[in-house]
Chains A and B, each alone.
Chain A
Amino acid sequence: MTDATVAEVVVPVSGGSQPRDVYIVCNTIDEVGGVQRWARRMAELFTDRGHRVHLVGVFAVAKPHDFFPGGEQPAYATAVLHPDRFGAPGKPYLVRRLTHPAVFLKYKRWLKIRRVGVNRLSALFAQSPASGVVVCAQIQAMEWVAQADKHGMPVIGISHESYAASRASTRYGRVRRYYAGVARFLSLTEEDATAWTRDGGMFNTGSMPNPLPFPAKGGSDPAAKVAVAVGRLSYEKGYDLLLDAWSKAAAGRPDWTLKIYGDGPERERLTEQAAALGVAGSVQFMGATNEVAEAMNGGSILVSASRAEGFPMTLLEAMACALPCVAADCAPGVRELVRPDLTGYLAPPGNTDILAERLGRLMDDQAARERMGLAALSRVEAYGPEEILARWETVFALVHR
């Protein structure tokens, strides 16, 4: 793995910031998923920079989330191609076409409806000069983007998960098919981009991490005997493994607490598990919070036992608060941020013994916490909004050359 980090990228002087039309196309835009929040954040940042942003969703959502409860209007334009549909019927496979002809006919009818949506998208694209850019954020939306008339605008495809995660899902084949010809296909890390090139046969790869949601100002106290974990309480985030590791690490370190911020379907099971392990006293479930920085600043270590990550925002946010991280090495995104002995420690995914040992090491060494926290803070500067936007400008300029 090359050691080229984000901070070493050379941003060319020429190019500047020419205002453009930027279309961000997602499957849906009215729900609170990771991709949607990313899309809205990027839309705001691009608009602040002076670009004209159109946020386009393909499908509607049964229970749309109101992103502007105060009644304000977004600074960017939004549109939905199929406001009356929530999804597409699946394409029946070879044998099914023969055994279920009704399903096949339904699919054929759907193709006609899809064409209507494609035409709507083409009409949206037609409003812009050729200096515009189309950013396709999800692979299903690419079916519409591919068929629409882009009037000479180049397409940038985005993947929000690691190569390994795509590889293990149906998205792998679809990415190789639909993103093969787009001008650039951006992954979350350089390591993922190289994997797509070397193993996935994609020759238009690049990388683009997610920007920090708040400024990197530090603020945590290395002396605090509090470990913090933040994230949705889902199976994927591995809180059951975390509690296992905590029970081993906290034994013999009675003055330490683990504060878990977040909510989700596993909450009850985790509370029971904490009680069964005998750590209910040192573990506090703080519930969901919007003030992530404040929550993190209350601790001196961030710990994560995730089973899967794309670009781990939690780690990014923790480093912005000058927290060293002890994390399960489950994705290139984790490896890019957490450098062992520098900004934190890594443990093999699923191995709670080693995670506990590393966590314990950091719990015992305040000087190390302070040193690593500062190193983390300086490392994370390259992920600030200004730096990330500058990288986007380079990509915009590149696809127009």
Chain B
Amino acid sequence: MPAISTTATATAAATPEVSVVVIVYNDALRLPAAVDSVLRQTLRNLEVIIVDDHSTDSTPKVAEKLALDPRVSYVRLEQNSGGCSAPRNAGIERARGTYVMFLDSDDTLNQHACMNMVATGDESGADLIAGVCIRRHINRSGITNDVPWWPEFFNEPRVLESISDLPDLLRDTLSTNKCYRRQFLLDHALRFPEGYHYEDLLFSARAYLAAKRIALIPDTVYYWNVVVRAAQKSISNRRSEIGNLRDRIAIHRMIDEDLAEYERGGGDPAVKLHKDAKFIGHDLTLYLRDLPYQDQDYIAECTTLFRDYLATVRPEAFGICDHKVAVVGAYLLLAGEVATAEGPGPDWDSVVAVAENLIERSRITADLVEQDARVFWTGRHLDSELGREALDVTELGWQLAEFDRANLTARLTGLESLGGGRVRISGETLNVLGRVPADAVLSAKLDFRPRSRAVRKYQVKVTEVRHEGDRLVWSADVNLTKTVKPLGLIDQVWEVTCRITAQEAGGQTTGGGRKLGTASAKITATRLPRGANGDGDGSGDGKQDAKPLTVTAKPLLTRATGDRWVAGIDHRGRFVFTLTAHNPLARAITAPLERAEGGASVRLLRLLQRTNQKLQVLSDPRIKRDVYQKVLVRLPIKRGSVVFESHLGQSFSDNPKYIYQALHEHGHKGRLFWSYADSSAGFPADATLVRRDSWSYLRALARAEFWVDNQGFPCTLTKRPGTTYVQTWHGTALKTMGADNPQIRAMLEDERRRLARSVNRFDYFLVRSEYDVRTLIESFGMRAEPLRIGYPRNDSLLAVDRDERGRQLRARFGFPDNRKVVLYAPTFRSADSVFEPGFDLERFAREFGDTHLLLIRAHYLNTVTVPARARHAVLDLSAHPDVTELILASDALVTDYSSVIFDYALFDRPMVFFAPDTERYSQDRGTYFDLAERAPGQWTATEDDLFAALRALPDPDDPADPYRERRREFATEFGQYETGAAGEHLLGKFFAGSQKGQ
């Protein structure tokens, strides 16, 4: 241990509760803030020990000044140790407190940290207390972004009797978000290992293993400040970091020795298993990510180091690590032939695929192999049991991804300059598991788009695209200079995306085959291909480090902002063209923007960013509400203007859509507005589209003569007396509503009043039957006048030409002619989850694939995955906004408690009920009547019963249909006012005489 020289001042007589060891090296600027954060703790009886690792700047002066406070002492090491270990150990030696904590000079503690640690330590008797660390990223403009470190361990206060209660906690290797009982450190001689990097890993592991009790608290204790430097341009060269890797592995070997001793002493073997899994899932991936982008020597040594270490890892760890792709990489490094100093081995491509996926997790990068209904990363090593387990990636679900929704890797294979600004870009896109059949018709385009705000984009048709083995190979000639015109300054880096459209070859029935859609992926590469060098000289000498391809550029802001395109690979492995400056004028202009700090232009940029942040206050909803109430509602009403909204702006659908269409046809004189929540795609182009909660939305509502929607406009907006609010609602209710709903009954006065105010804005309310009047209008206590005309959206279900409409819709959707179309529309289950059908889709496809077609229409908040083998008989149409169209195109309905039954009954086609979880459903909310008793169709609860019912589906109008009467009674009771003329009635009541020209 190096000798230490001290300038200690007299410290308080009482034993401090906590000793905070602040380590510093050449950080005079930030040290005061760190120490200040400790002196301002709510816990006052503590001491600060500043340990200076022999700084050479003004740190000693600053520290001595801070040490004038009686609670602060200052220690200076005789020589620089180059790490954190020696300073921290010196701090432990000098500490007098009951507890010890560590703080780096550029970080801060939360003001309650020490009191929380001490209170928890006293209550639990723990040796080690850990809290939440927040990583605070500070960018050049001073804007911070807080990310918690391992939050999942700190959701609830928790006391562990030992690390084996939660072995995953080993992942939290920080020593700074923790508080240690000093006696515990002394008893077990716990110190930081000197002369190593990653000393925290060893210290933490030893502490966890030795601790008699560990307490976890949900409080934030530590702020780890990270200054985000200038954006990375390319993947960094790790050549000089091989030493770091050796250190990391050496530390892990030391930890393994400690673990072996721990197990010999009766410790739980699961701890080592979790540590091994963590190594694979975390430590290994740090190096695997950019391994293919390094040079051969580094790759060879890295591979050897990992292979040797992974040989000591327990094979079960491969099974419990949940980072599947990392497990693949680990196995290949351990048992495969990846690379030597001479060059890559047969498993190299698979490792490259692992790295590419680690960089961008959504990319499908490997040539998957299917065997025995399981999917593997590669076809090699499947004869070994561990290989089969490690390379099994079925759970990733890549085999289920649709062609147009999968991010299939597009790799660059060729890049050459053809002279005159023209380049030939060639590449290949993965055709995973033969998703695109060999005879499919292909076409492709290349998109050139800047990485930052996409102001402009350019498309170039790809001249050649074809199948080649298991790849789709393409090649395009582009005149880069003339075709791609950047603005200059703000769009310097341009990415290239390859979009391939595939369609199955001419199908058995009409027209072309099924459209598989368009897959698009950003082109990636580990290196620029041979031939990508020089401007037009095409020397092709194949040297990897040759000058990258350069082509003249003509930005719109003239050559003063840049004049060359340079091909390259960015830090995420993507193939990019960067606009660079070659001529002196351009260099002078763009240079300040490149610099990390300083310069008036950069300060201006930061000021703009901070101002932009502050201006966000204008979107404050309270201000919007105030301005609406005080100013906007006093504006004159615009005659004839109508604002439509459906499902809070989610889609263009339901009753408002049909009313709008009728109005539009009618030639209504007056502005028609449609509200959208996220995207205006799918909304009619001839209406004025306004985004929900935007200023134009508020203006439109304030001045509208009519409000028409099916759920409720924002409840903070009052309705003027001059506006008529027609509430069309979205369906007859089976679940209890209003005062019959326990959740509403449990509301407190002000919430209840708010609901009443919101609902009393309705002037008219569409109903289909007296049942609706009772369950909707009366239960909510609405004052609205019931409009007993039925729903405009159901008019087409009762129209004379509905069969013809149905046929047209089927053709439009592309359904095969000879199949019975069954609409499966279950009710909403739980939000944001994958919808589980409750019966086996693959079995359905097997038994009914030739004769039936199943349309799944789940709630828009649920996602549906249709397995590949069922795709010819099952379609997911949950994204289709208009259910009425799906009803018209169908022959039968399968559902459980969805309110679609009330509408489908009008259609008078067979209904089958499939409700496997009746009890759980009725527990939560309650229904107005027992559907099972009154169901207008067969009630099934098991898959076999459902399939039997489907087999026995009668044709429409079959007089032998046992449920025909029931269905008609059901339709009459719940749709007594439906005549098929709801739209007409509505127009007549409110909009007669409003046509243009009157």
Contacts and interface: CB of A to CB of B under 8 A. Distances in A.
A197 B218 contact: yes
B742 A352 contact: yes
Given A183-B42, A401-B44, A204 B115 contact: yes
Interface stretch (B100-108, B203-211, B747-755): B747-755
A384 interface: no
Contacts of B743: 349-350
Nearest to A347: B742
A204 B218 CA distance: 11
Interface in A327-356: 328, 330, 348-354
Nearest to A236: B748
Contacts of B110: 203
Contact of A93 (B115, B626, B747): B626
Contacts of A181: 42, 111
B17 A401 contact: yes
B112 A204 contact: yes
Given A198-B155, A198-B218, A401-B17, A308 B116 contact: no
A276 interface: no
Nearest to A238: B746
B220 interface: yes
B122 interface: yes
A300 interface: no
Contacts of B45: 401
A96 B218 CA distance: 40
A399 B956 CA distance: 78
B42 A236 contact: no
Interface string B101-131: 0000000001111011011001101000000
A307 B748 contact: yes
A349 to B, nearest CB: 4
Nearest to A191: B156
Interface in B197-227: 218-221
Contacts of B490: none
Q: Which of B111, B113, B118, B627 has the most CB of A within 10 A?
A: B111
Contacts of A330: 746
B228 interface: no
B569 to A, nearest CB: 41
A99 interface: yes
A12 B122 contact: yes
Contact-size category for B: 35 or more
Given A95-B630, A181-B111, A351-B742, A204 B749 contact: no
Given A99-B630, A154-B42, A353-B926, A203 B157 contact: no
Interface in B393-444: none
A233 to B, nearest CB: 14
Nearest to A155: B42
Contacts of A352: 742, 745
B44 A95 contact: no
B43 interface: yes
A203 B43 CA distance: 13
Contacts of A308: 748
A354 B482 CA distance: 74
A328 B125 CA distance: 37
B622 interface: yes
Contacts of B156: 1-2, 194, 198
Contacts of A168: 751
A315 B684 CA distance: 58
Nearest to A190: B157
Nearest to A351: B742
A13 to B, nearest CB: 11
A10 interface: yes
Nearest to A183: B42
Given A96-B626, A168-B751, A194 B115 contact: no
A353 B736 CA distance: 13
A113 interface: no
Contacts of A136: none
A251 interface: no
A62 interface: no
A4 B745 CA distance: 32
B158 interface: yes
Contacts of A184: 115
Nearest to B625: A95
Contacts of B747: 307, 350
Nearest to A181: B111
A182 B42 CA distance: 8
A146 to B, nearest CB: 14
A166 to B, nearest CB: 13
Contacts of A353: 926
Nearest to A198: B218
Interface in A128-180: 154, 168
A349 B111 CA distance: 38
B623 A95 contact: yes
Contacts of A154: 42
Given A10-B123, A401-B17, A95 B627 contact: yes
B744 interface: yes
Contacts of B742: 348-352
A203 B158 contact: no
Interface string A204-235: 11100000000000000000000000000001
A2 B44 contact: no
B118 A401 contact: yes
Contact of B746 (A12, A183, A307, A401): A307
A258 interface: no
Contacts of B741: 350
B746 to A, nearest CB: 3
B12 to A, nearest CB: 13
Given A183-B42, A194-B157, A203 B748 contact: no
Interface in B61-114: 110-113
Q: Please indicate which of the listed interface residues A4, A9, A182, A330 has the most CB atoms of chain B within 10 Å of its own CB.
A: A4
B37 to A, nearest CB: 13
Contacts of A95: 623, 626-627, 630
A197 B744 CA distance: 29
Contacts of B42: 154, 181-183, 204, 399
Given A350-B743, A352-B745, A203 B119 contact: no
Contacts of A190: 157
Contacts of A203: 110-113, 116, 219-221
A94 interface: yes
Contacts of B43: 401
B623 A94 contact: yes
A398 B119 contact: yes
A241 interface: yes
A201 B146 CA distance: 13
Contacts of B122: 10, 12
A81 to B, nearest CB: 25
A148 B69 CA distance: 26
Given A10-B122, A194-B157, A350 B218 contact: no
A348 B742 CA distance: 8
A2 B749 CA distance: 32
Interface string A186-199: 00001000100110
Nearest to B217: A197
- Name the residue in B45, B630, B742 with the highest tally of chain A Cβ atoms < 10 Å from its Cβ: B742
A350 B747 CA distance: 8
A350 B925 CA distance: 10
A2 B158 contact: yes
B627 A398 contact: no
B115 A398 contact: yes
Contacts of B115: 183-184, 204, 398-399, 401
Contacts of B118: 398, 401
Given A184-B115, A398-B115, 12 more contacts: A2-B156, A4-B157, A94-B626, A96-B626, A183-B115, A198-B218, A203-B116, A204-B115, A349-B746, A350-B741, A351-B742, A401-B118
7 contacts: A10-B122, A99-B630, A168-B751, A198-B218, A203-B116, A350-B743, A401-B43
Chain A to chain B: the 5 pairs with minimum beta-carbon distance, closest first: A350-B746, A350-B742, A349-B746, A350-B745, A351-B742
